[in-house]
Structure 1
Amino acid sequence: MARKTEKTFLIVVVEGTVIKRIMILDILVGSGIYYALQWICSSIIISMLGSVVGTEGIKKVQKQVKGSDIKFVRTLKMAK
């Protein structure tokens, strides 16, 4: 006998301010860290790695302090 499988449809809502904040953080802060490290150590590799680690570290700290900005709406179950 064939078994029915359920498909789920997930809706995720992300606010526009969250997207703006992430873009500003990545572009402005990442560039600032990159150029500061470039000026201090004159190494492109160290500057790139420092920029990535710095922005990801800031994001992680913000997420721990504030909590998640993504809100779970609901899951819809659809039978086939």
Structure 2
Amino acid sequence: MPPVLPGMHFHDLRHTHKTWLIEDGIPEIAQARRLGHRLPGVRGIYSHVTEPMIAAVVDALQRRWETTQPDRAGDTVRRLRVVA
């Protein structure tokens, strides 16, 4: 199957997802957990993901899903090009 955009790789979606988490104000520890990363040093030891953080991630992704219009798929692809 060809890429959505020439030169786009599956891993680019992780970069987009991380950017969305930052835009949505998700705490760094919750971002790291979502992406399977660990924070270094003291931040990684003393930071913990809470139920409200998990709910915030789900809510933010749900808002993005609901506000994406199927008839604007071309716009979405153009926006992804900027991120990639």
Q: Is TM > 0.5 for Structure 1 vs Structure 2? A: no
- Determine which structure has greater relative contact order: mean sequence separation of CA pairs < 8 Å that are 6+ residues apart, divided by chain length: 1
Higher strand residue share = 1
Q: Which one has a bigger Cα radius of gyration?
A: 1
Higher helix residue share = 2
TM-score after normalising by structure 1: 0.36
TM-score after normalising by structure 2: 0.35
